[in-house]
């Protein structure tokens, strides 16, 4: 079984939004959509651009794990093909991410990607000094609207579409490589 786990360093960092985006991107692939798993399915289903599919690829899962403390990251990573740790793109978010990453051994970090999200529309972006793969999601009004994410990727700003393409590559690798 291939599992993409999406978790956050803090509530509201964007883990559920990125899990919904991962599912929506994967459902466009010929393999079909993965199964969904979340502690609060309603929250995740609320962000999907379309209702969950009735027929899914039983060998793949997108798991919205919510917020996890640093000590739980290593065990969660063991059950995952890839774990995306979502954190705000702020100095505190970077520090939280580093604390989480430090709780995981160097070998397991190969299956860990830190996703920084610009929640506050900051123009200044700093690259966190992390010993793992890093992806940045810029601020975009399409993410801030309540309800389903836009299905049409042209709805997003250019920089966001580029970041979504990078996220799609992470999703594809996690679920189908």
Domains in the chain: ranges and CATH:
2-176 (3.40.50.300)
Report, in angstroms and rounded to the nearest whole number, the Rg of the chain calculated over CA atoms.
15
pLDDT higher than 80, residue 126: no
Name which residue leads in pLDDT, 65 or 129. 65
Residue 40 has pLDDT above 80, yes or no: no
Angle at 59 between CA 5 and CA 173, to 5 degrees: 55
Task: Please give the Cα distance from 132 to 117 (Å, whole number).
Answer: 16
Confidence of residue 32 (pLDDT cuts 50, 70, 90): confident
- Whether residue 123 is predicted with pLDDT greater than 70 in this model: the reply is no
Alpha-carbon dihedral sign for residues 96, 8, 166, 60: positive
Instruction: Give the H or E element holding residue 15.
Output: helix 15-26
Separation CA 70–CA 50 (nearest Å)? 33
d(Cα 16, Cα 20) in Å, to the nearest integer? Answer: 6
Confidence of residue 129 (pLDDT cuts 50, 70, 90): confident
* pTM for the whole structure: 0.92
| Mean pLDDT, rounded, of the chain | 89
């Amino acid at each position: 079984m291939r599992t993409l786990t999406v978790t956050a360093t803090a509530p509201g960092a964007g883990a559920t939004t990125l899990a919904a985006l991962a599912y929506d991107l994967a459902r466009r692939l010929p393999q079909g959509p993965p199964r969904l798993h979340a502690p609060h399915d309603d929250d995740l289903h609320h962000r999907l651009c379309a209702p969950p599919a009735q027929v899914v690829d039983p060998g793949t899962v997108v798991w919205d794990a919510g917020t996890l403390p640093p000590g739980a990251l290593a065990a969660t990573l063991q059950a995952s093909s890839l774990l995306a740790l979502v954190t705000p793109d702020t100095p505190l978010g970077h520090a939280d991410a580093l604390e989480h990453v430090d709780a995981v051994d160097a070998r397991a970090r190969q299956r860990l990607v830190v996703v920084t999200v610009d929640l506050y529309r900051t123009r200044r972006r700093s690259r966190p000094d992390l010993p793992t793969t890093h992806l940045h999601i810029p601020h975009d009004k399409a993410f801030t609207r309540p309800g389903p994410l836009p299905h049409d990727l042209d709805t997003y700003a250019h920089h966001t579409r580029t970041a979504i393409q990078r996220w799609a590559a992470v999703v594809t690798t996690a679920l189908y490589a």
